[in-house]
Amino acid sequence: MNQLINLKPIISEKSLARVESFNEYTFQVAPRATKTQIKLALERIFGFKAVSVRTKAERAKTKRAGKARRAVKKADKKQVIVRLDKKDKIDLFEIKEGENKK
C-alpha cells in the first residue's frame, strides 16, 4: 500500500508528560496505517528514526442525533505513540516560557 500518512499531533497534559519523561510522542493517524508506514512517514517528515512504535485503535461509537434520533456513527481513530532516541526532539511538543498556561 503506497499512500501518504498524515501525522496529526495530539497535545494534552498526558502526551506532554510522556515527552518529558520518556521522549514519546503521540500522534493520530488513519485507521488503516501500519507501523511500518508510520515509521517511514516519521522519518520522511521529521528526519528521525523511531526506536519503537505502539498503536492504539479506537472503534467508532454510535450515538443518537437529530429530531428523529437516528443512529449516527463517529469515525474510527488510531493513536500512535512513537519513542525516539534521547538526542532527538520534535519542536511541536515543546512549550515555550512566554506562553500562557490554562
Domains and CATH numbers, the chain: 8-85 (3.30.70.330)
Mean pLDDT in residue range 14-21 = 93
User: Using 50, 70 and 90 to split pLDDT, how confident is the model at 4?
Assistant: confident
User: Using 50, 70 and 90 to split pLDDT, how confident is the model at 94?
Assistant: confident
Of all residues in the chain, what percent carry a pLDDT higher than 90? 75
Contacts of 64 (CB under 8 A, 6+ apart): 70, 71, 72
Report the C-alpha gap between 59 and 78 in whole angstroms.
Answer: 9
pTM: 0.80
